[in-house]
Structure 1
């Protein structure tokens, strides 16, 4: 279900070839979605994502839509706050433009945070658990473990992080399951293979740690096996693990990864 809402923006407006999803078109037809954000070229991608998610939310006033909007506002704020601090010597009017965008985004995010506190949508439960420390949201989220509602890599990663210090083996199993949920051509969250590397190191399962370090490396577009000063393996072992890593990456790209039994 996670792709349906995101793709909805291209269906709105019928056969417009996703023209409605173009930022210029959105801002022309719905200037209120764009006017309160900076327009000086800084944080362009983050700004665009906020505008798109605001637009999508107009079309589908759902809790999952609110979550995507909140996440994009959060990312935009991280970027715009950083550039506002760094570029302190710019002309006053340009800096004010960014400050105004920052204030508007923070105000909207705070409003949505309050608005969604009673939601039972899993993504929003995760939001209030991790951002607000809500024990009620945490318990409600964890109660959904094993249900179709949590069958999504992002949510499985959150589960794995919960068990990371409680049950390492269970955390590893959840991470492998998270990888099996990716569909073809979906971008894999690099935190999942990175976490597997760390957990296998914790278990002193060094070949597996090396394998998932290789997978992480290859998913980031780096060629070769790299260096691993903390793991002593023979060249033959490294070659075998490198081939296995290539197979795993290929399976992930094709949406066919299955954990080994």
Structure 2
């Protein structure tokens, strides 16, 4: 018996067609101008007719598009960060008098106020987020409830990233120097050598903090070594002559520590750092006053 063609539910067909149309629309945005035309709400109230803060504005527009496609907390957090970057740029641009059109200053001011309103709105939307990076951000903005939430995550895998370990270290730095050093070392251990942003933004602070924390504990070999590691990584630290004055020792000892620091700097860059590498320092003879 011929039962005829199999029919699909009407809603399923409509949903499939809508999905394809939406996907096609996403793929058709081949320029920022076209994106603004297709999604005017993304670009509304931004200084799109102005050359000021063009790069910051373009990054923000495309990130807003990502939020439309996937409105996750992390995407919204990225939008918050880029909005702050855009607002910082616009705060300077709003003070610039345009030589060709005076009304541009007003438009820049309006764009700046729009950015501030967006920041407030995004922070409100993220206030109940359980993402560790967002909890940490809220704490840095003065939210003490967020600090309690953040500290409860200390022994969990949710903070197993260089950035989050550095965040924990910043809390303990004035409370427990030894624990601070352990957290900073863990931060380096968790770096896998892949993220250029982590290498540029997080690792320098970790290395500098290790030098400072060890120095404050009187662990001069370690402090000197981390200062040299910073130098190997191209960080802005004291000049070599100043470091030698700060850490007086015989040339042989200085050379041995320099070798260790070179190995450690290389291991950090490749993402293979292990705190056991510091055992080499324990093999050095005690540092005497005459050294």
User: What is the TM-score normalised by the length of structure 1?
Assistant: 0.79
Q: Which range moved further: 228-237 or 112-121? A: 228-237
Does residue 173 in structure 1 map to residue 182 in structure 2?
Answer: yes
1:59-208 to 2 correspondences below 5 Å: 59-85=69-95, 87=96, 92-131=102-141, 133-187=142-196, 188=199, 189=202, 190-208=204-222
Mark the CA change 1:59 to 1:247 in structure 2 (over 3 Å): closer, same or farther: farther
After the TM superposition, which parts of structure 1 deviate over 6 Å for at least 4 consecutive aligned residues?
Answer: 18-22, 221-225
Q: Find the residue that maps to 2:240 and give its secondary structure.
A: coil
Q: Which range moved further: 154-163 or 34-43? A: 34-43
Aligned to 2:250: 234
Does residue 37 in structure 1 map to residue 46 in structure 2?
Answer: yes
Compare CA radii of gyration and give the structure with the larger one: 2
Compute the displacement of 1:197 (Å): 1.4
1:66 and 1:112 in contact (8 A); partners too: yes
Compute the displacement of 1:185 (Å): 3.4
Mark the CA change 1:161 to 1:224 in structure 2 (over 3 Å): closer, same or farther: closer
Q: Which digits, 9 at most, give the CA deviation of each residue in 1:58-77, with x for residues without a partner?
A: 22211122222212222332
Aligned to 2:62: 52
Which 5+ residue runs of structure 2 have no aligned equivalent?
A: 1-22, 280-291
1:33 and 1:51 in contact (8 A); partners too: yes
Aligned to 2:268: 252
Mark the CA change 1:211 to 1:28 in structure 2 (over 3 Å): closer, same or farther: farther
1:172 and 1:196 in contact (8 A); partners too: yes
Structure of greater relative contact order (alpha carbons < 8 Å, 6+ residues apart): 1
**Over aligned residues, Cα RMSD in angstroms?**
3.2
Cα distance in 2 for residues equivalent to 1:21 and 1:138: 42
Cα distance in 2 for residues equivalent to 1:80 and 1:241: 47
Cα distance in 1 for residues equivalent to 2:45 and 2:255: 54
Which 5+ residue runs of structure 1 have no aligned equivalent?
A: 1-12
Cα distance in 2 for residues equivalent to 1:165 and 1:65: 33
2:84 and 2:119 in contact (8 A); partners too: yes
Q: Which range moved further: 151-160 or 90-99? A: 90-99
